[in-house]
Copies of this chain bind each other. A is one copy, B any other.
Amino acid sequence: MAAPLAPTVAVIGGGQLARMMAEPAAALGIPLRLLAEAEGVSAAQVVPDHEVGDYTDLDTLRRVTEGCAVVTFDHEHVPTDHLHALEGSLAVRPGPEALVHAQDKAVMRRRLVELGVPCPRHAVVADVADVEAFGLPCVLKTTRGGYDGKGVWFVATAEEAAAVFVEAAEQGRTILAEERVDFRRELSALVARSPSGQLAVWPVVASTQRDGICHEVVAPAPDLDPELAVEAQQAAIRIAGELGVTGVLAVELFETRDGRILVNELAMRPHNTGHWTQDGAVTSQFENHLRAVLDLPLGAPDARAPWTVMVNILGGAHDTGRLYDGYPHAMARDPRLRVHLYGKELRPGRKVGHVNAYGDDLEDCLERARHAAAWFAGDLGEESE
Q: Does A158 contact B (CB under 8 A)?
A: no
Complex A-B: 22 CB contacts under 8 Å: A5-B323, A5-B324, A7-B324, A26-B45, A27-B338, A27-B339, A28-B327, A28-B340, A29-B324, A29-B341, A29-B342, A29-B343, A31-B45, A47-B48, A48-B50, A200-B335, A297-B327, A297-B335, A298-B331, A299-B335, A299-B337, A300-B335
In the assembled complex, A113 has its CB within 8 A of some CB on chain B: no
Q: How far is the CB of A292 from chain B (nearest CB, A)?
A: 11
A184 in contact (CB, < 8 A)? no
A93 at the interface (CB under 8 A from B): no
Q: Residue A335 contacts which of B283, B324, B335 (CB distance < 8 angstroms)?
A: B283
Question: Is the C-beta of A133 less than 8 angstroms from some C-beta in chain B?
Answer: no
**A282 contacts partner chain B, Cβ-Cβ < 8 Å:** yes
- Size category of the binding interface on chain A: 35 or more
A49 CB to closest chain B CB (Å) equals 8
The 10 A-B pairs at the shortest CB distance, nearest first, are namely: A29-B341, A6-B324, A1-B40, A297-B332, A297-B331, A300-B335, A48-B48, A26-B46, A23-B23, A300-B336
Please, which residue of chain B has its CB at the minimum distance from the CB of A335? B300
Min Cβ gap A375→B in Å is 13
Quick check: is A101 within 8 A (CB to CB) of the other chain?
no
Contact call B335/A6, Cβ cutoff below 8 A: no
Complex Cα–Cα for A351 and B22 (A): 22
Q: In this complex, which of A7, A335, A341 has the most chain B Cβ atoms within 10 angstroms of its Cβ?
A: A335
Interface residues of A in 331-381 (CB under 8 A from B): 331-332, 335-345, 353
Across-interface contacts of A353 in B (CB, < 8 A): 29
Contact B27 A341 (CB under 8 A): yes
In whole angstroms, how far apart are the Cα atoms of A22 and B24 in the complex? Answer: 11
